[in-house]
Amino acid sequence: MSCISKLGAIAAAAALIAGSAVAQERIDGRVLVGGAPIAGAEVSAWQAGQDAPRMLAAVRTDENGEFGLGIADGPDAGGVLYLVAEGGEAKTAVGAGSNPAITLMALLEGEAPEQVTINELTTVASAFAAAQFLDGKDVTGYALGLKIASRNVPNFVNLETGGLGPVISDTLNAPRTTTLAKFNTLGILLSGCVKAIPDACDKLFAAATPPDGTVPTDTLQAAQNIARHPWHNAEELFGLVDDFYPVPEGARYRNVSHVPYLFYAPSAWTLSLVYGGGGFFGVGGAALDADGNFWTNNNWLIGSQTTIFKQFGAGVGRFDTDGTPLSPAITGYTGGGLDSPGWGIAFSDDDKVWLTNLIGRTISVLDRKTGAPLSPKGGYDFGGKLGDMQGVIVAPNGDVWTVDNGNSQIVHIPGGDPGKGRILGRTVDGKPEMGTLQVKGPFGIAIDLQNRILITNSSSDTVTRFPADDPGNAEEIKVGFSPHAISIDSQGNAWIGNLVGHPGTSEKLALVKQTIESKLAARKGTESADEISAHMWVNLWEIISEFPGGDISVIRPDGTVLGPFNADGAITGPWGVAIDGNDNVWVASSTSHSITQICGFRTETCPPGMTTGDPITPSEGYVGGLQIVAPIGVDPAGNVWVGNGWDDTKTGFSEDPDEAQSTRFPASTIVVFYGAAKPVITPVVGGQVRLP
């Protein structure tokens, strides 16, 4: 906006406020940096929505940095309100005059509080929460994404006081991740520019210049660049801490307004928060629903002495868009045959949640709005013919498809009517019962843009693909060994997570196959289904440990296979795979406790010079609060949700665990990386990403 048009908008807003006879919403507040006021800053209130943001009011701060905004024409329904403070003179920089590089922000949740502080911490929190909707000081996006962004700002910062929010400072976050120290460090870096420390703005803007080379001109632009490209110039940004705030001679600490700050350079300036509760424990699969809520299949019950050999099954968790648990504590949602739900979770248009059970060996259905069971007390078991159930999808036409990992078969439920369900690929006395379709330890499932079902065979190195209306016309496509997760991008490419990957030699691959097949054959007829299942999980983990690695394969629509991609070794034991709104790919690596973003086929959305399969994230991926991870998903605000699956595998694989550690096998937390991805529309339907 030009100076003339900007002044005109301010004058118009002031005239509207002065002449309006309707009741006004009033917001009082203050603009600070490092706890000191900024005088003469221009504070404006804006409504964000699908179209260009609309100015509602504007005023200048007094000598104490205080302001009062009267808003006669409040935000439209569904709109999000935010405040911007520009220019002014920081009282810590007396004589420096108005600083044009100052732009601070506070994104407000719901109804505006009566008192608002706009400072460096509200700016960092707002820039990360709304990273994918910000363009300079303009915030634009669809309603649900903006709502999610605004709801998460208070988790980082108290908008009334400008101090720390309740989540970033709680016991799951403050002592267990570097997020608090990174958040504070970013705050003091912005403060260095606001306070007019010599050359601070120039140095900050140089370090916060994104890969395309567009240099920021104010502190808000710098913050949003860091949020969108947290891996870029990470060490250079950290080096500014010493430039701006050297430790005084004879002192131990820097003279800064926020502690703790970082002692060591981060690999990336991501801000992640950790959440728990709602029955979350040892997660298998997870998915985001139409409201952006995060649903989790909790393999095991909180507080139980669960191992691979003795398992206390649990229910399903649901988390609000700000991480608040909505499902019951300890058990999560139960009933309808739920018993240790596995990888499978999917949503249908009639607000049903379809779930698969490992221990229960059934299919369950819940009401999405209430969590109440809709399936029978024992679930749908198809006459006892089901084994360890894993992936499930609801196809665009409403058909439900799910896979039986234990019995190597497929279940097709036309129109979501279990009474019409049929089992495919079932083998009786060594012979196919229906057609020639065969799968080997099927785990993940998706449907592509040509209405073809794709199933990953975790006990092999193939993906089975067939037309949904002609299962007998199946083909096997070779990928890496032990493929699990599968996701379809907007161009119809299938991205596959190979848990073991491509061992270095054909001899090693043959050994992997032989190891699994021989161990399974030795147990058949001598152990129960539960015992065989337990030992198979132990065997799989032993193989992952013995043959470290794992990678990603891509099946093009024409059947061509590309890859493997392993992000220069950052991808290990990949459990979860998700696609973001740029068609870039997110991978949850179980054994390296990290997540990795790699460039997809729309390379114009990747950093300059990158090609398909190149890693965007640093060599170690993104870390922070992650354990042995499993599912991963992107929400409508561009936040990346990751479920921690396991914690103590020594306990988990012991038939006689140490008492003190006997409840520590499963992990109990979710981690959310804010503003890191291009938003998507949820839910994912049939494994296919949906772009806004």
Tracing tokens 């820039």 back to the chain, one arrives at 127
Kindly report whether the peptide bond that precedes residue 260 is cis, defined as omega within 30 degrees of 0.
yes
CA 426 to the chain's CA centroid: 36
Residues 354/395, Cβ–Cβ less than 8 Å: no
What is d(CA 500, CA 492) in angstroms, rounded to the nearest whole number?
Answer: 24
What is d(CA 390, CA 406) in angstroms, rounded to the nearest whole number?
Answer: 9
Give me the pLDDT at residue 439, please.
Answer: 94
Residues 342/357, Cβ–Cβ less than 8 Å: yes
Residues 508/549, Cβ–Cβ less than 8 Å: no
Give me the pLDDT at residue 276, please.
Answer: 98
Facing residues of 552 across strands? 497, 565
Residues 422/411, Cβ–Cβ less than 8 Å: yes
What is d(CA 513, CA 644) in angstroms, rounded to the nearest whole number?
Answer: 28
Helix, strand, coil: what percent of the chain each, to 5? 20, 30, 50
Low-confidence ranges of the chain (pLDDT < 70): 1-24, 73-78, 94-95, 427-436, 504-529, 531-533, 535-537, 539-540, 542-548
Take residue 497 and report the two structure tokens written for it.
Answer: 């997570």
Q: How far apart are the first and last CA of the chain?
A: 27
Could you give all domains of the chain from N- to C-terminal order, each with its CATH number? 1-250 (no CATH), 273-673 (2.120.10.30)
Instruction: Give the residue among 461, 129, 438, 384 at the shortest CA–CA distance from 273.
Output: 129
CA 62 to the chain's CA centroid: 41
What is d(CA 183, CA 291) in angstroms, rounded to the nearest whole number?
Answer: 28
Tracing tokens 């005059």 back to the chain, one arrives at 97
What is d(CA 156, CA 124) in angstroms, rounded to the nearest whole number?
Answer: 9
Biggest alpha carbon–alpha carbon distance for the chain? 89
Provide Rg for the chain, Cα atoms.
27
> What's phi and psi for 601, nearest 5 deg?
-85, -20
Give me the pLDDT at residue 437, please.
Answer: 83
Take residue 664 and report the two structure tokens written for it.
Answer: 């520590």
Give me the pLDDT at residue 215, please.
Answer: 98
Residues 283/576, Cβ–Cβ less than 8 Å: no
What is d(CA 397, CA 413) in angstroms, rounded to the nearest whole number?
Answer: 11
Give me the pLDDT at residue 5, please.
Answer: 39
Three-state SS for 646?
strand
Calculate the dihedral angle through the C-alpha atoms of 136, 141, 144, 150, rounding to the nearest 10 degrees: 10
Instruction: Give the residue among 103, 121, 124 at the shortest CA–CA distance from 160.
Output: 121
497: enclosing H helix or E strand = strand 494-501
Give me the pLDDT at residue 96, please.
Answer: 73
CA angle 306, 312, 315 (to 5 degrees): 120
Residues 434/426, Cβ–Cβ less than 8 Å: yes
Q: E strands along 283-416, which residues?
A: 283-288, 294-298, 316-319, 341-347, 352-357, 363-367, 389-394, 400-404, 409-413
What is d(CA 186, CA 394) in angstroms, rounded to the nearest whole number?
Answer: 43
Take residue 162 and report the two structure tokens written for it.
Answer: 């400008």
Beta-sheet pairing, 551-555 with 409-413 = unpaired
Instruction: Give the residue among 691, 590, 580, 603 at the shortest CA–CA distance from 643.
Output: 590
Take residue 371 and report the two structure tokens written for it.
Answer: 């969590």
Give me the pLDDT at residue 17, please.
Answer: 35
Return all residues near 262 (Cβ < 8 A) that are at least 6 apart.
178, 181, 182, 185, 238, 241
Tracing tokens 């060594």 back to the chain, one arrives at 430
